[in-house]
Amino acid sequence: MKNEIKFEFSDTIGGYVTGFNKEKRIFGIRTTDGREFEVKLTSNTYARGPRNLGEAYVDYTSKMEELLVKGQYLFTIGIYYHDHGRYTFEAKVLIFPGEGIGRYRFEEDAHWWIRQAKSIADFFIKAQFGSPEKIDYRNYRTFLSLTGERKGDFRQETDTISRLVYGFASAFMLTGEDRFLEAAEKGVEYLREHMRFYDVDENVVYWYHGIDVRGGKEHKIFASEFGDDYDAIPMYEQIYALAGPTQVYRLNGDPAIMKDIKMTIDLFDRFFLDKEKEGYFSHIDPVTLDPRSESLGGNRARKNWNSVGDHAPAYLINLWLATEDSKYRDFLAYTADCITKYFPDYEHSPFVQERFFEDWSHDKTWGWQQNRAVVGHNLKIAWNLMRINNLIAKKEYVDLAKKIAEIMPKVGMDRQRGGWYDVMERELKEGEEFYRFAWHDRKAWWQQEQGILAYQILYGVLKDKEYLRYARESAAFYNSFFLDYEDGAVYFNVLNNGLPFLLGTERLKGSHSMSGYHSIELAYLSAVYTNLLNTKQPLDLYFKPLPGGFPEGILRVQPDILPKGVVKVSEVWVDGKPWKNFDAEKMTVELPNLNYRAKIKVRLVPVK
């Protein structure tokens, strides 16, 4: 019989214990979609408990049997054997995310995500600069090895610096430790001096793709040099150039940063915006700034997820949080309206459509994407629609977010092992029952972030227990398999069974795709959503405004766009001393009139 599986193979099962027979040393496990398996313990089976970055190994072997109670969630790594016409699964490792039914250490420990952010930020300071005393972006490398080692001659890419700056700024917000603020502010200064171009004729700012540094000499690279974006200015590079500076602006109110942000948005509105048919074009010509230039080839007059949807998470939500300016609220609504109007394609696919021609007809032949879906983009839409809905309530935002949340576990989640897949074919071919993987069944760190945050905020707002279950399962997989305890930070990709995949660029800790952005963004927002919306614990945030920086001396300290009235400020300290001039409900602080930079600590608490 062809394709008959009569050989042993290793794999992982994630699920809930259904029972344990101590005499036979066999326990039952039910996957998230309700399928049941029997797992046999062997004399060599061992167990480990939840472990954060920077912590020692947590051995649970001595108590693993007492933890095998009905309802306990865990992962088991083992081997299937084909015995007498059926499979036996023998466990080699059990991984517990917590002790007890519905208990997860990353929820119970209010500082879990904060310590994780701190550890990752420290990894990148050491890798990029050597130590906190040597922070100098002339030494920055886009590419870092698994252990954080750098190369000699190098390219510095604007987006990866900006993303790392975001990570440092967010780590400072969570910890108040000045080395992170120094790294963030020096990064913004370096971006402004080396990567920013002020177009005098058009009175706009745009950002270089990067610079090459060889033998101490600097060569600026204006247009993108990536294959799919070659010789064009892609919208997503300009968007992510603002990610770090905007987060830093939330902390210090630097007017120079705000000027750059406004002039870059002017670039978007004058040259990327489609004023006739809505949305933003994905690329413009580097000379004429024309999105319809013939020189753009396959990128001529195109729109995509990044050009429309990435504004909100990359910088625009943080810009609104820092200013509460109505024009940024309207900008958020505009992008969300475009997404709900044009992206759903449920008559043909369970995944949204991500690429479009100028008239919003579907582009199914572009570059690497063809007619494929990025699982994380679907989840990212659900996450950000819920954030925007907390500011501008619209039924269509919630409806699409809920629809994505219902569909994605069935087609984009690994319901056998846990975690979220990468790129999938959007449609089934004749005779197919399961949606196919485009290249592999590995799982990327950033797509886990989208799944965790989407279901965390869905639960936090709508209180549907199924959303909480998916949030917990997603966070359990990420914290069990993506953290690199040996060298620090997180792995780029893991295999479907959770083991690290360490080949090619996926072996790296720094690359065009990876910096200290998604991992620290996840830690920051998981701390916000878990503490303030789920477990109802306080959260401290830190700021360090420039004297005279924020207009009218008002510091806005909302941690994210949360539902109105669920969080307030309970206490504020200025350089460690209590400060009473704040509005608890509006979450604003009236800054003291000082001629030096004071550190502002704010305690946010859930409203009971």
Given a cut of 70, whether residue 153 has pLDDT beyond it is no
Q: How many CA atoms lie within 13 A of 595 on its CB side?
A: 0
Last residue of a domain, one of 514, 534, 554: 534
If we measure between CA atoms, which residue out of 322, 381, 418, 341 comes closest to residue 73? 418
Which pLDDT value is given to residue 64?
A: 97
State the CATH number of the domain containing residue 96. 2.40.50.140
Given a cut of 70, whether residue 283 has pLDDT beyond it is yes
- The residue assigned the tokens 């200015």 is 233
Residues contacting 119, CB < 8 A, separation 6+: 52, 53, 54, 488, 489
The CA distance from 394 to 396, in Å, is 5
Residue 580 counted as domain residue: yes
Q: What is the mean pLDDT of the chain?
A: 96
Q: Based on the domain organization, do 549 and 423 belong to the same domain?
A: no
Domain that residue 549 falls in: 539-606
The CA distance from 183 to 125, in Å, is 8
Q: Based on the domain organization, do 288 and 182 belong to the same domain?
A: yes
Last residue of a domain, one of 74, 103, 132: 103
Q: How far is CA 304 from the centre of its chain?
A: 19
Which pLDDT value is given to residue 419?
A: 98
Given a cut of 90, whether residue 226 has pLDDT beyond it is no
Which pLDDT value is given to residue 217?
A: 82
Given a cut of 90, whether residue 224 has pLDDT beyond it is no
Q: Based on the domain organization, do 556 and 455 belong to the same domain?
A: no
pTM (two decimals): 0.97
Sheet holding 554-556, edge to edge: 554-556, 588-590, 582-583
**Quick one: tokens of 257?**
């940063």
Which pLDDT value is given to residue 414?
A: 98
Gyration radius of the chain's alpha carbons? 24
The CA distance from 509 to 498, in Å, is 17
Lowest mean pLDDT among 64-73, 149-158, 512-521: 149-158
Cβ atoms of residues 45 and 4 within 8 Å: no
Percentage of the chain surpassing pLDDT 70?
Answer: 100
Phi, psi of 459 (to 5 degrees): -70, -45
Summarised one tens digit per residue, pLDDT across range 384-405 is 999 999 999 999 999 999 999 9
Summarised one tens digit per residue, pLDDT across range 546-597 is 999 999 999 999 999 999 999 999 999 999 999 999 999 999 999 999 999 9
Q: Based on the domain organization, do 93 and 213 belong to the same domain?
A: no
DSSP letter string, 427-493:
SPPTT--SPPBSS---EEHHHHHHHHHHHHHHHHHH--HHHHHHHHHHHHHHHHHTB-TTTSSB-SE
Residue 62 counted as domain residue: yes
Q: Based on the domain organization, do 474 and 329 belong to the same domain?
A: yes
Given a cut of 80, whether residue 488 has pLDDT beyond it is yes
Residue 31 counted as domain residue: yes
Lowest mean pLDDT among 135-149, 209-223, 357-371: 209-223
Residue 3 counted as domain residue: no
Q: Based on the domain organization, do 190 and 327 belong to the same domain?
A: yes
Q: Based on the domain organization, do 56 and 128 belong to the same domain?
A: no
Which pLDDT value is given to residue 228?
A: 83
Q: For the chain, what is the domain count?
A: 3
Q: Based on the domain organization, do 589 and 442 belong to the same domain?
A: no
| CA diameter of the chain | 82
SS3 letters across 372-396: EEEHHHHHHHHHHHHHHHCCCCCHH
Lowest mean pLDDT among 153-157, 351-355, 413-417, 452-456: 153-157
The CA distance from 419 to 470, in Å, is 10
Phi, psi of 289 (to 5 degrees): 60, 30
Q: Based on the domain organization, do 271 and 295 belong to the same domain?
A: yes
152 pLDDT band, cuts 50/70/90, is low
**Quick one: tokens of 168?**
């440092």
Cβ atoms of residues 574 and 208 within 8 Å: no
119 pLDDT band, cuts 50/70/90, is very high
State the CATH number of the domain containing residue 316. 1.50.10.10
Q: How many CA atoms lie within 13 A of 11 on its CB side?
A: 16
What distances in angstroms separate CA 443 from CA 167, 243, 270, one per listed residue? 22, 24, 38
Cβ atoms of residues 426 and 371 within 8 Å: yes
Q: Based on the domain organization, do 308 and 391 belong to the same domain?
A: yes
Last residue of a domain, one of 61, 76, 103: 103
If we measure between CA atoms, which residue out of 303, 270, 166, 160 comes closest to residue 226? 160
Q: Based on the domain organization, do 200 and 321 belong to the same domain?
A: yes
Which pLDDT value is given to residue 35?
A: 98
Summarised one tens digit per residue, pLDDT across range 36-47 is 999 999 999 999
Residue 391 counted as domain residue: yes
Q: How many other CB atoms are there within 10 angstroms of residue 537's CB atom?
A: 16
DSSP annotation of 300 reads T
Residue 4 counted as domain residue: no
Which pLDDT value is given to residue 154?
A: 79
Residue 420 counted as domain residue: yes
The CA distance from 496 to 73, in Å, is 18
359 pLDDT band, cuts 50/70/90, is very high
If we measure between CA atoms, which residue out of 525, 447, 454, 536 comes closest to residue 490? 447
Q: Based on the domain organization, do 517 and 571 belong to the same domain?
A: no
Residue 1 counted as domain residue: no
